């Protein structure tokens, strides 16, 4: 998903947080990817979460490891830049980030219905926050939405 939101311009100044693999593409190719997403040509979105210790990022761009943190901001990033901006709707986002990847991995996707075990997240689109992690590609960006909790069967995780 980083390739939908940032271009290789993020590497300007040799920002190691923008050094990811596969590398970020030009702005024109980023726009082509957004068009492909809108046209239904992209079937799965992933966080491409590749965190690294400061030891591997606080060095020269050439020597820095590939990767950026993103898992904590994944849904708010998708919501802010893809749903709120009107590029895709929330049901499409849900399909691209949850249903399709689970199906591709052979995971049986449970129904959300009375009597079924819960397997979902609770998301509040009305909250917002600034990304504080200093090695995030999105540092200091203001994002909309926050994951409140995840429920899988009898296990509840609050954030």
In this prediction the pTM is 0.86
Distance CA 147, CA 33 (A): 26
Structural domains of the chain, with CATH: 2-158 (3.20.20.140)
Distance CA 128, CA 143 (A): 5
Tens-of-pLDDT digits for all 159 residues of the chain? 999 999 999 988 898 888 988 999 999 999 999 999 999 999 999 988 777 777 878 888 888 888 777 778 999 999 999 999 999 999 999 999 999 998 999 988 777 888 888 888 999 999 999 998 887 888 889 999 999 999 988 899 998
């Amino acid at each position: 998903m980083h390739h939908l939101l940032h271009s290789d311009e993020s590497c300007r100044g040799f920002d190691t947080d923008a050094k990811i693999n596969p590398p970020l593409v030009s702005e024109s190719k980023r726009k082509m990817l957004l068009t492909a997403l809108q046209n239904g040509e992209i079937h799965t979105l992933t966080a491409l979460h590749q965190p690294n210790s400061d030891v591997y990022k606080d060095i020269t761009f050439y020597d820095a490891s590939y990767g950026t943190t993103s898992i904590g901001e994944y849904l708010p990033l998708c919501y802010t830049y893809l749903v709120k901006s009107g590029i895709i709707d929330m049901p499409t986002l849900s399909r691209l980030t949850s249903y399709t990847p689970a199906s591709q991995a052979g995971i049986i996707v449970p129904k959300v219905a009375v009597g079924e075990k819960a397997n979902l997240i609770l998301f509040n689109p009305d909250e917002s926050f600034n990304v504080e992690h200093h090695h995030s590609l999105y540092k200091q960006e203001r994002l909309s939405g926050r994951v409140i909790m995840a429920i899988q069967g009898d296990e509840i995780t609050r954030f």
